[in-house]
Chains A and B, each alone.
Chain A
Amino acid sequence: MSERAASKDPGSRASSAGTPPRVRAALAAVGIVLIALPWLIGAFGDAWVRALCFAALYVMLALGLNIVVGFAGLLDLGYIAFYAVGAYTYALLASPHLTEHFPALAHAFPHGLHVSIWITLPIGASLAAAFGILLGAPVLKLRGDYLAIVTLGFGEIIRIFLNNLNAPLNFTNGPSGITLIDQVRIDGLDFAHPSTIAGLQPSSLVLYYYLLVAMALLAMLVCIRLQNSRLGRAWMAIREDEVAARAMGINVRNVKLLAFSLGATFGGIAGGLFAAFQGFVSPESFSLMESIVVLSMIVLGGLGHVPGVVLGAVMLAMLPEVLRHTAVPLQTAVFGRVLIDSEVLRMLLYGLATVGVMLYRPRGLWPAPEHGTEGNNTPRGPGPASQVVPRHG
């Protein structure tokens, strides 16, 4: 009986036999490229490695938002607030700011607050998750577009508070933000002053690259596991038909709340890493535009499909850099001056990506393959987020 069952179910056969050799080879190749990349690209300048680091951060953010929008079908326009929570948590616990402005703390921590990132990341993540539940609980019953606007409102409220909580007590240092944030330290290896490893001398930037890419890969793994689990199926069911899902014993409210807080957790972790990487945080980095940027990444890549989301994030994070280095000199050469500067180009790109995808390729560039019709080795993904994109688009 189980033999027959296995033979009828190519998906399970594939997973029980392990990943097929073709996919394994591809993954290995990608792995090698990722390891070598900073050295290769670094030859063209540090700016490119920095861009890759930001791409990794955006991948984490996109994966997190994908859980909320792509898996659970809830449009959160204030997602960047969780990024902010994670970032400011690390910033406050690992910089001179609090000890400078609160003598009581300076007294308690004479050497300054330098909480290790490995402690603050879980704290920031938990705080973000808590905010996720706080935000999610009252809004879950709202219909889709109202949910979007309320979350947008929450995001803006967070930003306004970050901008203004510098008087009478200076918590966040307002628009100036918090600077001099500690860098990451692993096992004696200080990212600020890296030592020689295995004969190579990686710069601080390269070390961050490896850390961020590793975290991004971890995030991908977590997402894929979530997707192919009982919980992932429950999310899919809710997206497809909430009433039927409930009738099957799924506690829709709690499962949606879980999506919110898991997504928030991703944001919180990415935020902490961002604060360490950039060395300073300010409310400017957490505007509505950033939430929209992350949304456009997952929409462009393929809502609900993990590889697609990663593609979208990498594309929309790297393309502005590419344009910055090509379009500016190109315009200067052709027109004698820069008509469209890189900031505007970046925004133009996001706007076009969003509108273009929705009108012409609503399932995204790399949507989940239509399952049931593919061969044995195709990983099964959820159908398109049916609340957002048309079924057969």
Chain B
Amino acid sequence: MAECVLLAASVNKRFGGLQALADVEIRIDEGQIYGLIGPNGAGKTTFFNVLTGLVRPDTGTFELGGRPYRPIDPHRVAIAGIARTFQNIRLFPDMTALENVMVGRHARTHANALDAVLRTRRARVEERAIRARAHELLDEIGLSRYANQLARTLSYGDQRRLEVARALATEPRLLALDEPAAGMNATEKQALRALLDSIRTRGITILLIEHDVKLVMGLCDRVTVLDYGKVISVGTPADVQRDPAVIEAYLGIVHAEPAPRAQLQ
């Protein structure tokens, strides 16, 4: 039985008059690529922000790796083991690709101001290790030739990959990707698929929000579908694709056969 990496239950969030999340539940097991999909405004990014500490939920319990988890501060979220990328790409534009990934190592390293000033052995060793690991990650992602280039000079697709590399540097248990394929063409999406597959083979669990249904279906092991803040379907891509409730949510038309509506959770 695969270990459960993330368990979220009874997550509610209201913004003024809008119930953005209503009793959302998710269970992600180790090694899965888990998809969170739904029409625009369904609450996917809100859930992401709740999970990563950017938004405080009204209610909700979480477990990360079997232990209780409270996503209070984003920086503690990273240390706890959830690394995220952003819908609008938030790299450090005037730092090189290498430096961006090196910052990702911050959560797992400890040298402080005193170490820096005194150039202690610990600091020097750690610094070498950070640099080496950053190079490794850039290699794995395929961006080593840009190591010393400013992040803002990279192409859009490369910037997205760099963000993933940076997130990987934090040694996450769960890699949370917010629309990683947005703005990519077909070739880039293929490359992204391959990349995510290779990340999965290294034992890192992935949660992703995506609009590209085809990508999600081909890549994810399990999917949760949100609509108006509520979970309307959970299961393998194949199951979810056939679920009338999901079809209706996306296409807005009633299923041709007068089949009974799928029961909601």
Contact = CB atoms under 8 A, between A and B. Distances in A.
A230 B127 contact: yes
A383 B94 CA distance: 6
Contact of B93 (A5, A240, A251): A240
Contacts of B42: none
A174 interface: no
A240 B112 contact: no
Across the A-B interface, give the 3 residue pairs with the lowest CB-CB distance, nearest first: A249-B107, A383-B94, A229-B116
B141 to A, nearest CB: 14
A299 to B, nearest CB: 18
B79 interface: yes
Contacts of B94: 240, 382-384, 386, 391
Given A230-B106, A230-B127, A371-B96, A249 B75 contact: yes
Contacts of B98: 9
Which size bracket describes the interface of B in this complex? 35 or more
Contact of A262 (B113, B132, B150): B113
A8 interface: yes
B52 A233 contact: no
Contact of A247 (B52, B99, B136, B153): B52
Which size bracket describes the interface of A in this complex? 35 or more
B24 interface: no
B111 interface: yes
Interface in B77-106: 77-79, 83-84, 86, 90-96, 98-99, 102-106
Interface string B113-154: 101110100010011001110011000000010011110010
A240 B92 contact: yes
B81 to A, nearest CB: 10
Interface in A119-172: none
Interface in A355-393: 370-372, 382-384, 386, 391
Contacts of A5: 131-132, 135-136
Contact of B102 (A233, A258, A372, A384): A233
A133 B108 CA distance: 26
Given A241-B92, A248-B166, A249-B75, A234 B132 contact: no
B32 interface: no
Interface string A206-228: 00000000000000001001101
Given A233-B106, A372-B96, A386-B93, 12 more contacts: A229-B116, A230-B127, A236-B99, A241-B91, A241-B93, A247-B90, A248-B83, A248-B103, A252-B75, A258-B113, A371-B150, A372-B153
Contacts of B74: 243, 246-247
B116 A372 contact: no
Interface of B: 52, 54, 73-75, 77-79, 83-84, 86, 90-96, 98-99, 102-109, 111-113, 115-117, 119, 123, 126-127, 130-132, 135-136, 144, 147-150, 153, 166, 169-170
Contacts of A246: 73-75, 78
Interface centre among B108, B131, B144 (most CB of A within 10 A): B131
Contacts, number: 137
Contacts of B144: 8
A230 B116 CA distance: 8
B116 A231 contact: yes
A244 interface: yes
A236 B96 CA distance: 11
A245 B94 CA distance: 14
Interface centre among A240, A249, A370 (most CB of B within 10 A): A249
Contacts of A248: 75, 78, 83, 103-104, 106-107, 166, 169-170
A248 B127 CA distance: 17
Contact of A11 (B86, B126, B148): B148
B95 A237 contact: yes
Given A8-B144, A240-B93, A247-B52, A226 B106 contact: no
A222 B74 CA distance: 30
Contacts of B84: 247
A10 interface: yes
Contacts of B130: 230
Contact of A250 (B91, B106, B113, B135): B106
Interface string A252-288: 1000001000100000000000000000000000000
